[in-house]
Amino acid sequence: MGDSLCEALATLQLALSDSTADSIEACLDCLLKALLLNNAEASGKMAEAQVLSQFPALLDPQTSCSSKAAKIIAEVSKNDFMRSSCVDAGLIPPLVRLLHCEDQEVLLQTGRALGNICYESQSLQAQLVSLGVIPTLVKLLSVQSHNAAVTEMCLVAFTSLAELESSKEQFASTDIAGELVKLLQRQVEHEKKEMILEVLAPLAENDRIKLQLVEAGLVECLLELVEQTVDGELEEDAVELKTASDLIVQLLLGDESMQKLFEGGAGCVFQKVLSWVPSHSHQLQLAGALAIANFSRNDANCILMVETGIVQKLLASLERHVVDGNVTVQHAALSAVRNLAIPVVNKSKMLSMGTADVVLKLLPSEMPVVQFKLLGALRMLIDTQAQAAEQLGTNPVLVQRLLEWCDAKDHAGVMGESNRLLSALIRHSKSKDVVRTIVQGGGVKHLVAMSTNEHVIMQNESLVALGVIAALDLDVAEGDFERSGLVQVLHRLLSDEHSAPEIQYNSMILVCSIMGSEPLHRAVRNLPFLDLVAKLRAHENQTVARQASLTEQRLTVQG
């Protein structure tokens, strides 16, 4: 092989200078034969001879050898060490131009060559995007839609390019949505359907494309796939069911696409999703709950869904999975419950359905993702609901679990949500019994620590809760306030010029509230609170300034 290959390389360079078509064809045939026998060795010799620099001329659509030239590049670029040489030789632009060719073999070899050169290289794939390859390939898919080989080549290319963030807007400016939906509707082979779905998933991350896919009828097509595979016994049926239902959920993440499918609660897609929640398929139960969580991203939808009885379906799903512990379904159903509980008018309705009782059954869960959603659901349910907050706040099992999770330093989300729920139970119940249950359980130290959180909303929630504790039962909390360093924390908050106005305001309220305790009063006197408050009298926020004057009077009177 060595001598004939070297001869072919030398002859090719001469033939190119003389433009002898027959000689060029013969040389290309020899190169292909050598590559098929030992790709790595032949590619190395081609690199040594620097013959790739001659190939842009061979990739001219007007030449008869463009197909063979593209095939050689496709073979050569299978090797990692040759890809940069192909780029340096300037092969990408002429290859992209060849995609406008009508010859099927040229198209296939060109697609292979580009795919191999850019394999796993985002920078080179981005270069293809900048050269306008996406609209070219979409048009090619449209023209050659019944050509299986060309279609597959386009899908392989889309699979790589669709992952690029820079490609999404170009895709959105083409009719990729319509073409892929038509292609999916015609497919009977599982592998081809999987290829198309694999392209659709990353494209559907873009909100513009989400809407285009919905308008092109993708969801109806996916629902058919779900129906065809839900009772299937083959592994490929399970894969297709998961991919199709997951993609429907993904399309609902876009606000416009979600509302289009909701259709005021009358949409066939929305109605179908409701039937998934009680399904015998865990995958459909999961997808159904996630879809409801996505549909419930605005108050109007939430209110309508609670009226349709969706809460009972979600609660039944949660009840089923308390025993088997299917974490993904628990997480999804709790997400939906939490979202549905956000509108004020839904809270009392959902509580009367026993929502809190069902959610509490998951308290023993050791899965942080479930714990996080459980806490969020309860917090939404008791917001402004004094009776429910008192009932939960005096539940010793719940309070004990909350206090455990307040120490979950390995899971910041769970720790934050448990602190917020602890605070919410106090703030919304304003109950002395709740205060005593939480204080006696050791909750004060967590609320004081929460007041130094980086998030203003959490700082504020803790300060208000501490203020309620001080107002309702200062005696029972006095020792914990001392041990947790509450006075020192308040001093730091008021000393910090970057503290938000609401933090300054509620800190001063709390200072006034704890003055009824002798040891706390003494701790306040030992720090220069009066100086800090005097400065705040000139605060641009009038509410803060007025409270500073009142606090100054209180501190002055009580010495």
Is-contact 183 217, C-beta < 8 A?
Answer: no
- The alpha helices in 118-167, defined as continuous H runs, are 122-130, 133-143, 148-161
Give pTM, 2 decimals.
0.85
Give me the mean pLDDT over the 409-428 stretch: 95
Give me the mean pLDDT over the 7-15 stretch: 57
Is-contact 344 366, C-beta < 8 A?
Answer: no
Q: What tens digit of pLDDT does each residue of 355-373 get?
A: 999 999 999 999 999 999 9
The pLDDT value recorded for residue 1 is: 46
313 Cβ neighbours under 8 A, 6+ residues apart: 274, 277, 278
- Is residue 15 predicted with pLDDT exceeding 70? no
Q: How far apart are CA 391 and CA 382, in angstroms?
A: 10
Q: How far apart are CA 223 and CA 238, in angstroms?
A: 14
301 Cβ neighbours under 8 A, 6+ residues apart: 262, 265, 295
CA distances from 345 to 133, 341, 392, 515 (A): 52, 9, 20, 39
Give me the mean pLDDT over the 80-98 stretch: 91
**Average pLDDT of every residue of the chain:** 91
The pLDDT value recorded for residue 25 is: 83
**228 is written with which tokens?**
């065809």
- Is residue 382 predicted with pLDDT exceeding 50? yes
Q: What tens digit of pLDDT does each residue of 267-301 get?
A: 888 889 889 999 999 999 999 999 999 999 999 99
Owner of token pair 């009142």: 550
Q: How far apart are CA 277 and CA 287, in angstroms?
A: 8
Q: What tens digit of pLDDT does each residue of 205-214 get?
A: 999 999 999 9
Q: In whole angstroms, how large is the CA radius of gyration of the chain?
A: 34
Q: What tens digit of pLDDT does each residue of 170-189 get?
A: 999 999 999 999 999 998 88
Q: How far apart are CA 196 and CA 199, in angstroms?
A: 5
Give me the mean pLDDT over the 251-257 stretch: 92
Q: What would you measure as the largest C-alpha separation in the chain, in angstroms?
A: 108
What's the distance, Cα to Cα, between the start and end of the chain in Å? 102
DSSP 264: G
Is-contact 405 418, C-beta < 8 A?
Answer: yes
Q: For residue 120, count CB atoms less than 10 angstroms from its CB and return exposed for 0-12, middle for 13-18, buried for 19 or more.
A: exposed
Give me the mean pLDDT over the 348-359 stretch: 96
Query: How many CB atoms are located within 10 Å of the residue 496 CB?
Result: 12
Q: How far apart are CA 485 and CA 466, in angstroms?
A: 13
The pLDDT value recorded for residue 339 is: 96
CA distances from 324 to 359, 365, 541 (A): 15, 11, 54
**What is the band of 63 on the pLDDT scale with cuts at 50, 70, 90?**
confident
Percent of the chain with pLDDT over 70: 96
**What is the band of 38 on the pLDDT scale with cuts at 50, 70, 90?**
confident
The pLDDT value recorded for residue 223 is: 94
The pLDDT value recorded for residue 410 is: 87
Q: What tens digit of pLDDT does each residue of 315-338 get?
A: 999 999 987 778 999 999 999 999
